[in-house]
Amino acid sequence: MHYEASVSARERELEEFRNRAQAYVKSVEEEIQKDRTTIDSLKQQLVEREAGALAAPTFGFTQHMPSGNAPVEAQKTQTAIIRAAAREILEQEGRPMSRAEIKTKIEERGIVIESTDVAELIRAALKRGRGFRHISGVGYELTREA
Q: What is the DSSP string of 22-60?
A: HHHHHHHHHHHHHHHHHHHHHHHHHHHHHTT--SS--TT
Query: 67 lies in a domain?
Result: no
This prediction has a pTM of 0.48
Give tens-digit pLDDT for 45-69. 777 777 764 444 343 444 443 333 4
**Angle subtended by helix axes 78-93 and 118-128, to nearest 10:** 80
Number of domains in the chain: 2
Query: 35 lies in a domain?
Result: yes
CA atoms of 139 and 95, how far apart (whole Å): 9
The domain of 33 spans 1-54
Query: 89 lies in a domain?
Result: yes
Give tens-digit pLDDT for 82-138. 999 999 999 999 999 999 999 999 999 888 888 888 889 999 999 988 899 999 999
Domain check: are 95 and 134 in the same one?
Answer: yes
**Cα separation values, 33 from 27, 37, 38, 97, 107, Å:** 10, 6, 9, 35, 21
CA atoms of 144 and 131, how far apart (whole Å): 6
Query: 62 lies in a domain?
Result: no
**Angle subtended by helix axes 99-108 and 78-93, to nearest 10:** 100
Beta strands in the chain (DSSP E): 132-135, 139-142
Query: 60 lies in a domain?
Result: no
Per DSSP, 135 falls in state E
Query: 99 lies in a domain?
Result: yes
Domain check: are 45 and 87 in the same one?
Answer: no
